[in-house]
Structures are given as structure tokens and as C-alpha cells.
């Protein structure tokens, strides 16, 4: 995809919502991807109807998974999963190339409500302590890759930084923002979600030969001085972005990138669309049930039928028990 003709970010049409936009800033030796999410995220979160803070947290995880998963060069799957001891004890985001996402959260209603009442509710506190695992699966011909990073009350942004410092050794900065939007429509006030995110990585062409030099105070890297300066400039620019700018429908991603990096020559590549699309199907679930023993089938019968609800998209599938007891 990145072989596509690059364009000057100041002068092009916009990728629009729900499309990942790869970019490069050659003057700073950085590459990255940015996105604004609207309808796809809104539809995904609306279907679950979680408490607001849980939706917001899952929204952040979705944006992070999209930014990371969209780097897959071949057909494959990127799975982001948390396992923690907080009120939200599990988040799962499943990204499949070229851009299908599905996600769900598992949480304790009462603990979330209690935190909301106490007013101590921050997305990162919902998770608590545990781990975040990222798994890349690119099919039968490649080995499965899994990276694990500790979660201990830090935000998902910080966790992403720790992950890249630890397992990829690529200086990386990630920004994530999610907000609930209230708009007035004909039928009264309407509710929706918007999110924005940006992942920026330092990938100097000459990087390899500098790796032995003493480390600077830049997280995650061993950078020569000139490189230190370039990466310090890139990170400080990215840190100037306010959360509301990341999600602002009036500030498309291209414009934001141009505003940040135009002095260093930012170029953007072909965007790729992200869809709210589950991969469950009647056939697939039927296949799972066919593997059940007669006893397991009998145990699954309720009100004369076997009913299975997809955790990811809440779709309901009903089966006649007789189909599996023949
Ligand atoms: Zn589903």
C-alpha cells in the first residue's frame, strides 16, 4: 500500500472517518499512521451499550489495535487482549486485514458503577493490574507472534510506549483520544462516538550503524545526537496535539499532520478503510456445536433450543438440538 504515489499532505483530498492514513516525515526520519474514527466505532460501541467509561476505554483499545494492526503487510489478524484485576477484567479487539474490526469488554457492573459514584473513574483505573497481549497471526506459512506487556494503572498510550521500548526497540509515540458526541438531530438529541489516534515511529535510514552509541534520554532507543534531536522534535510536536484536535471532525487527519510537520515535509500515502465487521457466522458456530458431545449438547438446551450469542457483535444464533443429537 505504501508503494502508492505519496502526496503532499497540505494539498490533497481527505481520507475521511474510519480510514487509516500512513504518513512519513523524511526531515525527521519518522513514519506513522493516523486515523479519525466515527461511524464504525459508534456502531461497534452502540451495539454493546456498555456504561460510558467502559465504552470509552474499549474505544481507546480499538484505536490502538487499528493503528498497530494496519501495519500488517500480508493477510492476517492482529489481536489485542487485556487480562487484569480491575472492574474491566478483559478487553478484546480483533483486527483482520484489510480493516475489519470487532471488540468486546468484560466487566463487573457493580464495581464500575461504584467507581462512577465515587468519581474516581479514569479509563486506566478500570483495568487495574495485569497484562496486555498483542498477537499477530499471518496464517499457516508464518509463525504466530505474541508480545506481552505489563499493565499497572498506566494509560493505554503509556502501555503502548512501554511495549515498543521493550519488544521492538523502535522509539514510538502513540496518541489516543475518544469522546462521546451529542448532536441535535430531527428526532431530538443524538449520541455518537468519535475517536482519533496517531502512531509515530522513529526509523532512521542510517539507524543501524548508530545502535552502539550511548543511549540518550529518549525512551526506547540508543540514538546518536543528531537523531536524538530529530526524534525529540517529532515527539514534542506530537505531544502538542490536544485530545480534542485528534477527534475534531473539522480537522481532518491530513490537516493535522500538515499543521504538525509541514516544515519537515510530510507526505501521506493511500488510506485504508476500517469497517465494523464481525467474522462470526451461523456455519462457524454450527461447526463448534458439532464438536460437542451429546451430553454437552443436552446441557446447552434452554427452552427447547440452543441459543448462542456472539460476544463480539451480540448476534444471536438459535439451533434445534435435534440437529446435533442424531
Ligand atoms: Zn459476531
Tell me the pairing of strands 100-107 and 129-137: unpaired
Identify the pLDDT of residue 220. Answer: 46
Distance 134 CA to ligand 1 centre (A): 20
Burial of 26 (0-12, 13-18, 19+ CB in 10 A): middle
Report the C-alpha gap between 145 and 317 in whole angstroms: 32
Distance 316 CA to ligand 1 centre (A): 9
Identify the pLDDT of residue 209. Answer: 39
CB atoms within 10 A of CB 322: 8
Distance 117 CA to ligand 1 centre (A): 32
Distance 310 CA to ligand 1 centre (A): 5
- pTM, two decimal places: 0.87
Distance 156 CA to ligand 1 centre (A): 25
Distance 101 CA to ligand 1 centre (A): 11
Q: Tell me the DSSP string of 1-34.
A: -TTSPPEETTSS----TTEEEEEEEGGGTEEEEE
Distance 86 CA to ligand 1 centre (A): 25
Distance 13 CA to ligand 1 centre (A): 34
Distance 102 CA to ligand 1 centre (A): 8
Half-sphere exposure of 65 (CA within 13 A, CB side): 33
Report the C-alpha gap between 320 and 76 in whole angstroms: 34
Distance 278 CA to ligand 1 centre (A): 5
Distance 130 CA to ligand 1 centre (A): 26
Distance 317 CA to ligand 1 centre (A): 10
Cell 506481552, located at residue: 148
Distance 99 CA to ligand 1 centre (A): 16
Q: Provide the CA 110 distance to its chain's centre, in angstroms.
A: 26
Report the C-alpha gap between 189 and 127 in whole angstroms: 31
Distance 309 CA to ligand 1 centre (A): 8
C-alpha gyration radius of the chain: 22
Q: Provide the CA 86 distance to its chain's centre, in angstroms.
A: 20
Report the C-alpha gap between 277 and 293 in whole angstroms: 31
Q: Which of 252, 314, 279 is nearest to 37 (CA)?
A: 252
Identify the pLDDT of residue 150. Answer: 92
Distance 313 CA to ligand 1 centre (A): 4
User: Tens-digit pLDDT profile for the chain (326 aa)?
Assistant: 344 555 555 555 678 899 999 999 999 999 999 999 999 999 999 999 899 999 999 999 999 999 999 988 778 999 999 999 999 999 999 999 999 999 999 999 999 999 888 877 777 789 999 999 999 998 777 778 888 999 987 889 988 888 888 876 789 999 999 999 987 777 777 889 999 999 999 998 754 434 444 444 444 445 667 778 999 999 999 999 999 999 999 999 999 999 999 999 999 999 999 999 999 999 999 999 999 999 999 999 999 999 999 999 989 999 999 988 86
Distance 279 CA to ligand 1 centre (A): 6
Distance 282 CA to ligand 1 centre (A): 10
Distance 280 CA to ligand 1 centre (A): 4
Distance 191 CA to ligand 1 centre (A): 23
Distance 43 CA to ligand 1 centre (A): 13
CB atoms within 10 A of CB 326: 4
CB neighbour list of residue 252: distance below 8 Å, 6 or more residues apart: 14, 15, 16, 36
Tell me the pairing of strands 266-268 and 7-8: antiparallel
Distance 83 CA to ligand 1 centre (A): 21
Distance 103 CA to ligand 1 centre (A): 9
Identify the pLDDT of residue 295. Answer: 92
Distance 273 CA to ligand 1 centre (A): 20
Amino acid at each position: 500500500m505504501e508503494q502508492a504515489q505519496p502526496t503532499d499532505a497540505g494539498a490533497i483530498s481527505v481520507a475521511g472517518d474510519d480510514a487509516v492514513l500512513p504518513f512519513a516525515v523524511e526531515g525527521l526520519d519518522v513514519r506513522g499512521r493516523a486515523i479519525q474514527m466515527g461511524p464504525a466505532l459508534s456502531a461497534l460501541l452502540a451495539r454493546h451499550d456498555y456504561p460510558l467509561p467502559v465504552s470509552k476505554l474499549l474505544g481507546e483499545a480499538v484505536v490502538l489495535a487499528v493503528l498497530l494492526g494496519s501495519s500488517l503487510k500480508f493477510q492476517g489478524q492482529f489481536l489485542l487482549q487485556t487480562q487484569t484485576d480491575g472492574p474491566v477484567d478483559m478487553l478484546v479487539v480483533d483486527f483482520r486485514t484489510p480493516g475489519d474490526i470487532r471488540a468486546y469488554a468484560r466487566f463487573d457492573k457493580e464495581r464500575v458503577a461504584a467507581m462512577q459514584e465515587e468519581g474516581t473513574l479514569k479509563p486506566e483505573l478500570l483495568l487495574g493490574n495485569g497484562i496486555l497481549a498483542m498477537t499477530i497471526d499471518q496464517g499457516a506459512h508464518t509463525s504466530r507472534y505474541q508480545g506481552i506487556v505489563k499493565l499497572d494503572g498506566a494509560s493505554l498510550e503509556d502501555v503502548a510506549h512501554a511495549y515498543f521500548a521493550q519488544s521492538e526497540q523502535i522509539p514510538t509515540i502513540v496518541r489516543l483520544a475518544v469522546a462521546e458526541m451529542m448532536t441535535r438531530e430531527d428526532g431530538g438529541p443524538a449520541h455518537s462516538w468519535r475517536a482519533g489516534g496517531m502512531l509515530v515511529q522513529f526509523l532512521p535510514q542510517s539507524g543501524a550503524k548508530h545502535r552502539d552509541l550511548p543511549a540518550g534520554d529518549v525512551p526506547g532507543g540508543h540514538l546518536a545526537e543528531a537523531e536524538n534531536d530529530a526524534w525529540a522534535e517529532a515527539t514534542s510536536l506530537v505531544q502538542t496535539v490536544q485530545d480534542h484536535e485528534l477527534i475534531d471532525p473539522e480537522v481532518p487527519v491530513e490537516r493535522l499532520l500538515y499543521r504538525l510537520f509541514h516544515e519537515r515535509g510530510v507526505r501521506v500515502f493511500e488510506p485504508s478503510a476500517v469497517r465494523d465487521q464481525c467474522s462470526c457466522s451461523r456455519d462457524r458456530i454450527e461447526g463448534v456445536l458439532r464438536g460437542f458431545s451429546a451430553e454437552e449438547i443436552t446441557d446447552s438446551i434452554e427452552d427447547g433450543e440452543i441459543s448462542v450469542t456472539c460476544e463480539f457483535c451480540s448476534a444471536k444464533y438459535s439451533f434445534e438440538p435435534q440437529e446435533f443429537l442424531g
